[in-house]
Amino acid sequence: MKKSERIIFSAALAKELVLLRKTILRPDDIDAQRCRYSGDDDCTSKHLIAFDDSKQVGMATLIRDPKDFAEHGMVPWRIRGVGVLESHRKQGIASALVEALLVEVDQTNEASWLSGRVSQRSLYERLGFEVVSDVYEIVGTGPHFDFIRKPQRVT
């Protein structure tokens, strides 16, 4: 059995993700509260954790966080905090986490957006997102783009 076949995804509470977000996304940041997001505890938010056996190896969050993009209008859903431990990268875990959240978005027939690291551009483009911003810097995490994924019809 390949390592990636052992990965299990589980719904989680936001408070269960904060330390994992810090470990993966902001390892040099001393303030774990920066890994707590506005909207985390909203009843429409969805949080997923990827497990390899009992070890947490990745996570992703979907929140209702509308943003107005000049050329695309208001985009209501935001995917945040996508990350996988270095030891488990390049196994499709991040893609699977985002795809699982996009199933939720597709049920609404609305668009989604995310702020993604420049290094992850090909991942998000494979998942149907398009770059809609210039590169900008997020202090502590590096250069990012804004991405949008237009509504997908559920059949």
- What are the extents of the domains in the chain? 3-149
In this prediction, residue 4 carries a pLDDT of 52
**pLDDT 10s digits, 47-104:** 999 998 888 999 999 999 999 998 889 999 999 999 999 999 999 999 999 999 999 9
Q: How far apart are the first and last CA of the chain?
A: 33
3-state DSSP assignment of residue 10: strand
Residues 6+ apart with CB under 8 A from 109: 151, 152, 153, 154
Q: What is the mean pLDDT of residues 117-127?
A: 95
Question: 0.85 cut: is pTM over it?
Answer: yes
In this prediction, residue 2 carries a pLDDT of 46
Average pLDDT of every residue of the chain? 89
Q: What is the mean pLDDT of residues 31-44?
A: 83
In this prediction, residue 22 carries a pLDDT of 86
Assign 1 a pLDDT band (cuts: 50, 70, 90): very low
Closest CA to 146 of 133, 128, 127, 136: 133
Neighbouring-strand partners of residue 149: 112
Assign 133 a pLDDT band (cuts: 50, 70, 90): very high
Does CATH place domain 3-149 in 3.90.480.10? Answer: no
